[in-house]
Amino acid sequence: MSSQDQNPQTMPDEKGFFGPYGGRFVPPPLEPPLEELTAGFLKYRADPEFEAELAREYQHYSGRPTPLYHAERYSEHLGFRVLLKREDLNHLGAHKLNNCLGQALLARRMGKKKIIAETGAGQHGVATAAVAARLGLECDIYMGEEDMRRQSPNVTRIRLMGARVVPATSGDRTLTAAVDEAIGAWVAEAETAYYLLGSVVGPHPYPLMVRHFQSVIGREARAQVLEQFDRLPDLITACAGGGSNAIGLFHEFLGDDSVRMVGVEAAGSGVDTDRHAATLTTGKPAVIHGMNTYCIPDDAVTHEGSHCIAAGLDYPGIGPEHSYLKDSGRVQYEAVTDTEVLAAFATLCRLEGIIPALESSHALAYAEKLKGTLDADSLVIINLSGRGDKDMDEFMLRLAEKDAASAAGVPGHGKGAFC
């Protein structure tokens, strides 16, 4: 599990390694379809027609380029200039579509008739169902039975767009079961089906490919900041669960040595508790989900268990490129707690009239910590990876808890996260 020292911009190597991380650790039946996928991706990535087709979809279907918005009142609050990369303004309200569009177009070019994907909270399933509908491809979304119950509005959205939701009934009936059953289905019909993975994780070529499709974020942001401010930012930051929106923003800036980069993980209830998803902050390398990468340890045999307020960050591993960028020191990784996230979320809502996703609010919570450390001229780009409409149930629950607590006169609860 090693490869020669490489330039971060030319990684991974041909076997999918970012230094010691990444690779392809899969059973033999999965190797041929992954080989076919790698060949297909490398072929069309370099095809100007494919590139033009994708650019058209980004513009007309998803609404790109997304604005790089100078949030003036929020900047005043923080004491430095903040630019929000508005990925929440993509069709469906998140950066997820960048990747889904790219992979679905690739699937069609490769002659596949059907898209298979797994989904946990349902966001990736919705985005995948949308692109499948857009391109007239059959679509099966595997979802744990338990998740289907908890996320029933997303089940409805997926079905409305013509996809089939296949309940995963094994194991804990959540994301892990959905992944295993979806992969099983893919292996059995790999000739005609395409597996659309939602983040920069899993076996090669997914971390490379998903980065490729998400790096449109950083390409736009870099051009926009140069155009608007005639200089590079001092710091760029994004939340990192699997890490696709962060890689998407960071990749284009890797060669700009003056730009500090910070990935923000979910500390959940705190990194010293057993309820968090701060993989790089607390974990160590392990082989999971077909890759070698940092992973939250639990006991000697298994790995499991991550928790935080944002379902999209609730993942015990992280994309292998992040593991490499951490070790190399090029990117700094920090963790913020649920409480800090909710406070930052509320601040942005109030100061800018923008309701961010709880995932994206992790990056905002980190920005709060920079208060007083940067001068007023500093330029900071925060990736606002998604909108918060999907999180309304969680907010209503928290508000109800807060109201109940203040009605009961519990000390210390009068000034909760929403104040």
Partner 1 sequence: MILEQTTREFRTAGRKALVPFVTAGFPDEATSLALIRAAGETGCPVVEIGVPFSDPVADGPVIQQASQRALEQGMTLRRAFDAVTAAREHGAQPVMMTYLNPILRMEPATFAREAAQAGCAGVIVPDLGFEETGILRPVLADEGLALIDLAAPTTPDDRLARIAGPAAGFLYLVAVTGVTGTCSPVAEQLAAFAGRVRASTDLPLYAGFGIDGPARAVSSAEACDGVIMGSALLRCFLEESDSAAGLERARTLLIETRQALDDAWGGIEI
Interaction site with partner 1 (CB under 8 A): 1, 15, 23-33, 169-172, 176-177, 179-181, 183-184, 187-188, 190, 286-290, 299-304
Closest CA to 210 of 176, 236, 238, 245: 245
Shortest reach from residue 298's CB to partner 1, in Å: 9
- Backbone dihedral region for residue 103 (phi beyond 0: left; psi -120 to 50: alpha; all else: beta): alpha
The torsion of the CA quartet 241, 374, 218, 262, rounded to 10 degrees, works out to -30
Q: Taking the complex as a whole, how short is the minimal distance between the CB of residue 3 and partner 1, in angstroms?
A: 12
Which one, of 16, 2, 26, lies nearest residue 287 by Cα? 26
β-partners of residue 117 are 141
Query: Nearer to partner 1 by C-beta: 2 or 10?
Result: 2
User: Active-site residue among 75, 361, 385, 402?
Assistant: 385
118 is catalytic: yes
Cβ nearer to partner 1, comparing 203 with 233: 203
Instruction: Give min distance, CB of 211 to partner 1, in A.
Output: 21
Nearer to partner 1, 30 or 197 (CB): 30
- Min. distance of Cβ 366 from partner 1 in angstroms? 30
**385 classed as catalytic:** yes
DSSP string, 35-70: HHHHHHHHHHHT-HHHHHHHHHIIIIII-PSPPEEE
Q: Are 132 and 162 in contact (CB under 8 A)?
A: yes
Of the pair 286, 370, the CB lying nearest partner 1 is at: 286
Q: Which residues are paired to 144 by β-bridges?
A: 168
Catalytic residue among 85, 96, 326, 402: 96
Listed in sequence order, the residues at least 6 apart from 366 whose beta carbon sits closer than 8 Å to its beta carbon are 237, 262, 264, 334, 336
Q: Which is nearer to partner 1, 218 or 316 (CB)?
A: 316
Catalytic choice (57, 75, 85, 118): 118
Closest CB 178 distance from partner 1, rounded Å: 12
Q: What DSSP letter does each residue of 70-121 carry, written as one string?
A: E-HHHHHHHTSEEEEEEGGGSGGGBTHHHHHHHHHHHHHHTT--EEEEEESS
Q: Where in the sequence numbering do the catalytic residues fall?
A: 96, 118, 385
